[in-house]
Structure 1
Amino acid sequence: MSAESSGGQTPVEYIQHHLTNLSVGEGFWSLNIDTLFFSIGLAVLFGWIAKKVGDSLDPDNPKGMQNVLEVIVEFVDSQVKDSFQGRNPLIGPLALTIFVWIILMNAMDLIPVDLLPWLASLIGIHYLKVVPTTDLSATFGMSFSIFALIMFYNFKVKGPAGFAKMFLFHPFSANNVVVKIILMPFNILMTTIEEIAKPVSMGLRLFGNMFAGELIFILIAILPFWIQWIPGGIWAIFHVVVITLQAFIFMLLTIVYLSIAHQSQDDH
């Protein structure tokens, strides 16, 4: 649907409309209902499919969705084995969940941009963003959840003393006690920035790439109906790569950062 046929909106109004979340509340306390609905809904869908396949496993004659899930599980398992140094039964399921969940959320970008908002308008919903990963609150929510795990395992593996040393004596170290004390404020500042940069960069990278992809689809939708199919089809094919790559990068960084958190203070 082009902007000209969408309720007489100008292109700018059309773009702004599609980039506006369905929200309640104001400011910091606002909740994006559409982000919550689609992200939770896709998580439930993933869990339901996984349970259904798990209840009907056929190791001798795998087919259909079982084949797809086995390929994904083997791929994620190989990434965990290659990138995670240590043993933790949480890492594999966590990496698998992140990878599949982000792919599902990203893939919502492949649905025609006007379809779901138009259906929502029929029941009185005037704003609807269907791609959760184009919402910075969603990507930061995921990345800072990973950050909480990183801090937890840093404290658990290194212990209180090792955790404190990570901030006091890294990245600058010295043999002289006086120099060590002088460097402590700089080490605390640098390590704090280094740690906070991990979730910030993860969240911004995923958000930025998916927001740009959604914006391009919206710009294509502004074109006349008979023109938009060609650039839309080409971009959709390319965007499949972006969707998968962004999920892979987020998953891999999660594995790597948690692997670093599991290292002892001497290794760190």
Structure 2
Amino acid sequence: MAADADLTPTSYIQHHLQNLTVSTGEGGFWTLHLDTFITAVLMGGLMVLMFWLATRKATAGVPGKWQAFVEICLEFVDKQARDTYHGSSRLVTPIAITLFFWILLMNLLKMIPADFIARPLELLGVGYWKPVPTADVNATLGLSLSVFFLTVFFALRAKGIGGMSKEFLFAPFGKWMVPFNLILNIVEWLSKPISLAMRLFGNMFGGEIVFLLIWVLGGAGILGMLGGGVLGLGWMLFHLLVIPLQAFIFMMLSIVYLSLAEDDH
């Protein structure tokens, strides 16, 4: 990264929005956003570690503080899953727990100023590092596509290939409107993962840009520092609501889609 004196506000923001990538070569078939992948895996590992620490010393008597906190969180997610999903699968609650807490931890990285992560990595020779995985549309699409394939699996398990094919062809307008039914159902099914991914990505990416703008404002003299401090605190407090809310919305919509996949139309 260039020295701060050589950076304009625009180039500073563009730098922090650049992913660290690995590709198959010039004009290659695919490009891996290495920072998104590594950070997402680390947050997933942290989630597993946190739950493991709670269960390692779990007791049926008076629970410890961490065990009690984890039990409250899990009971909350389990209640939401049970109230929303009316099928028979036992996978829904584990899916909901994984989605909510994994996305929550990835979103929480937004509370760490970008330079606090980028500068130490810069000393190690890493030029780019976008710290928030959910601000990368590839990560949110990956999550939503996973939910999409789970939805297909739930629909096939509940209705079979014949029942699902019949629903695609004959619902909602009946057998005389097969082409329209097919188009409508394809659009409906494809719109779910796209809207799920773009909603999470849009909120996290937009929030990251605002944080960077505030951070740039802090470098514009004494008044800029004061203004950046006030605006940064206000935006951070606002994001303390946005971060869990976006994880909750993603989880709830995923459960709704899984429930709808098993319903007859």
Alpha-carbon shift at residue 6 of structure 1 (Å): 2.4
Number of residues of Structure 1 aligned to a counterpart in Structure 2: 256
Q: Equivalent residue for 1:199?
A: 193
With over 3 angstroms needed to count, the CA separation of the structure-2 counterparts of 1:108 and 1:205, relative to structure 1, is same
Instruction: Give the direction of change, closer, same or farther, for the CA distance of 1:33–1:48 in structure 2 (3 Å limit).
Output: same
CA contact (8 A) 1:113 1:221 kept: no
**Aligned equivalents of 2:122 and 2:196: distance in 1?**
34
What is the CA-CA distance between 1:7 and the residue it aligns to?
Answer: 4.7
State the partner residue of 2:8. Answer: 10
Question: Alignment identity in percent?
Answer: 43
Deviation by residue 1:208-243 (Cα, 9 ceiling, x = unmatched): 000011111000010135222211111111101110
- Please report the TM-score for the alignment, with normalisation by the length of structure 1: 0.92
Deviation at 1:62, TM superposition (A): 1.8
Distance 2:75 2:5 in 1: 48
In the other structure, the counterpart of 2:69 is 68
* 219-228 or 9-18, larger mean C-alpha shift: 219-228
Task: For 1:146-185, list aligned pairs within 5 A.
Answer: 146-173=147-174, 180-181=175-176, 183-185=177-179
TM-score under structure 2 length normalisation: 0.93
User: Taking CA–CA contacts closer than 8 Å with sequence separation of 6 or more, which of the two structures ends up with the larger relative contact order?
Assistant: 1
Report how far residue 58 of structure 1 moved: 2.5
* Superposed displacement of residue 44, structure 1: 0.5
Structure 2: which amino acid aligns with 1:153? F
Q: Give the match for residue 261 of structure 1.
A: 261
Corresponding residue SS for 1:114? helix
2:107 aligns with 106
For 2:52 and 2:8, locate their aligned partners in 1 and report how far apart those are by CA, in whole Å: 46
Counterpart CA distance in 2 for 1:27 and 1:243 is 35
d(CA) in 1 for partners of 2:137 and 2:229?
29
Match of 1:94 in 2: 95
2:213 is aligned with 1:219: yes
Check conservation: 1:220, 1:232, Cα contact below 8 A. Answer: yes
Question: Aligned residue for 1:187?
Answer: 181
Shift of 1:5: 7.1
Contact 2:20–2:129 (Cα < 8 Å) also in 1 = yes
CA RMSD of aligned residues (A): 1.7
Q: Which amino acid aligns with 1:232?
A: G
Quick one: distance in 2 between partners of 1:18 and 1:7? 16
